[in-house]
Amino acid sequence: MKVNYTFEQKDTDSQNYYFYKDGFSVAELKKIELGVAKIEFQKATIVGGDVEKQRSSRIKWIPQSTEWWWLYEKLANYAKEANNSLWEFDLQSIPEQIQYTEYLGTNKGHYDWHADIGPGMLSQRKVSITVQLSHPDEYEGGDLELFRGGSMNGPFEKAERNQGCVFLFPSYTMHRVTPVTKGIRKSFVLWLGGGHYR
């Protein structure tokens, strides 16, 4: 008799995403805008590869400080709800800072296909969060797209463009930001996880 040993486990939806269309109020977005204005820009980088070809954007790092704690707590609560609904990852911490990103239409701002995981600290990322800060009328192009299998020619899942939308997905999901052709796309990104994947 052939016997297969199976570990008992709960079914999850490991390739799905979750979003809150109105995750941030107008007042909260204004508070974010004023706070971000005080932080210096940096040039965006990547882990390996040709950064100029892969990514065109400028960034700021939002510190885990008393001033910004409300933002980290709000995003952590959104992530916990999404994780409990879909993935059941073992989330332990937010080991990195929030990254504020601007994609400029004048530079065809973009971020080509990539996953948010990698070596070292990046191996601890389990849930990726993108917060849409720009109003959709303020820019053209700049779609956040997810690849969830099938053909690399598409179709792809497009994230909601509503200002204040919080969009969450597993960090191993391939995704990209298509080139911005006009205006500026502003967003936050953050990664949660900690420990080995489980």
Summarised one tens digit per residue, pLDDT across range 164-197 is 999 999 999 999 999 999 999 999 999 999 887 7
pLDDT at 155: 86
Does the pLDDT value for residue 49 go beyond 80? Answer: no
CA distance 27 to 100: 18
pLDDT at 152: 80
Give the Å distances, CA to CA, from 70 to 21, 24, 32, 138: 19, 12, 11, 27
CA distance 191 to 79: 10
Work out the average pLDDT over 110-129: 93
Give the confidence band of 53 by pLDDT, cuts at 50, 70, 90.
Answer: confident
pLDDT at 3: 67
The CA dihedral of 135, 136, 139, 141, to the nearest 10 degrees, is 150
Task: For tokens 């239409």, name the residue.
Answer: 105
Give the confidence band of 67 by pLDDT, cuts at 50, 70, 90.
Answer: very high
Q: Is the dihedral of CA 73, 12, 89, 177 positive or negative?
A: negative
Both tokens assigned to 9: 């486990």
Give the confidence band of 1 by pLDDT, cuts at 50, 70, 90.
Answer: low
> What pTM does this model have?
0.91
Residue 113, amino acid? W
CA distance 171 to 191: 8
